[in-house]
Structure 1
């Protein structure tokens, strides 16, 4: 039951990306040449969301309510909020700030989870790398379109 709960919570966060899609507004923005292809986003996020759910469930089963689990919940809320801010509100600046908070929550989870479950901690490393890339992309798109 707990595993299904974690999967459902991650699914809810992922739905933000399905509701607030890039669309025509994003297509018209200038982007750096290293922008990943469109197919990469759903592919990478699908794998990451499985890893996020498993890591949360793993910490829950080993430590229950803990600081690591609090950080897990925080990153999930921030994760779900980014698409709304960037694509829904079209606020690249606020999205970049929010993404910085997400990055801190992910890094904090990695550190807090390490003594509880090395696996859960390591499962968040690719997530941190992808969010770092997303942050650079967010910053670049903001900079390239600042005059608009």
Structure 2
């Protein structure tokens, strides 16, 4: 299974100003890339804080949402599924269901978790001509 980390970053390497910052600052080209790539893959893997920035689940995609407390969330099978599984368990489950690729879309902790697990096959970055100064880096907890 191919895992593509897809992210937009500022010139100073930030993916958001804070954990609740909706990605409304990216270019139309980045939005098109995200829309097309995630639609083709059919699966988004993201953390709960990143998921909460979406106004609604994106149609035609399975959202695998990592959280420490999946039992407290209400999954919608085939659309939004909460898990506390390891990256390896998540990938194995998706492969068993017939998926061949997934888009990893943050946040920083989830990106680092998959990178440390050796499961990221490709990294696609859109570098936007902005500076946030402070905010969330592309990875958190990578040394």
TM-score by length of 2: 0.28
Structure of greater Rg:
1
Q: Larger RCO: Structure 1 or Structure 2 (Cα < 8 Å, ≥ 6 residues apart)?
A: 2
Higher fraction of helix: 1
Higher fraction of strand: 2
